[in-house]
């Protein structure tokens, strides 16, 4: 039984990542990697600062990866991706606008 599940999983992964590999799958994977890179950027910046920070590069990775994922979703006609990335991209752009507007001032965090 376990062997059958292993074979079924292997066949599924082959079908999804190899048999159906095309330009748009590669584009979507790169978009997701770009989007995921924002966490690495944030982690490194926080380690260097010695506290939790959100650098400007985090927002650019979010916006770039989000826009690429949105394009992928539109091309593939995926409503979940389209909805999620459309709304999220607006938030990323707004955060970048606020950072540019308040350039020179430190970013504030909520204190309790």
Cβ neighbours of residue 95 closer than 8 Å, sequence gap 6 or more: 59
* The model's pTM: 0.77
Helix, strand, coil shares of the chain, percent, nearest 5, are: 80, 0, 20
Cβ neighbours of residue 70 closer than 8 Å, sequence gap 6 or more: 81, 82, 85, 86, 89
> pLDDT tens across 59-71, in order?
999 999 999 999 9
> pLDDT tens across 50-109, in order?
999 999 999 999 999 999 999 999 999 999 999 999 999 999 999 999 989 988 565 555
Q: Which of 52, 64, 48 is nearest to 96 (CA)?
A: 64
What pLDDT score does 1 carry? 83
63 and 96 in contact (C-beta within 8 Å)? Answer: yes
């Amino acid at each position: 039984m376990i062997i059958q599940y292993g074979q079924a999983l292997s066949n599924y992964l082959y079908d999804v990542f190899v048999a159906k590999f095309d330009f748009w799958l590669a584009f979507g994977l790169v978009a997701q990697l770009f989007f995921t890179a924002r966490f690495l950027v944030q982690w490194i910046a926080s380690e260097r600062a010695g506290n939790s920070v959100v650098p400007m590069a985090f927002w650019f990775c979010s916006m770039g990866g989000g826009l690429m994922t949105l394009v992928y979703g539109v091309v593939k006609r995926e409503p979940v991706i389209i909805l999620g990335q459309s709304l999220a991209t607006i938030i990323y752009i707004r955060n970048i606008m606020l950072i540019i507007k308040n350039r020179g001032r430190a970013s504030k965090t909520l204190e309790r």
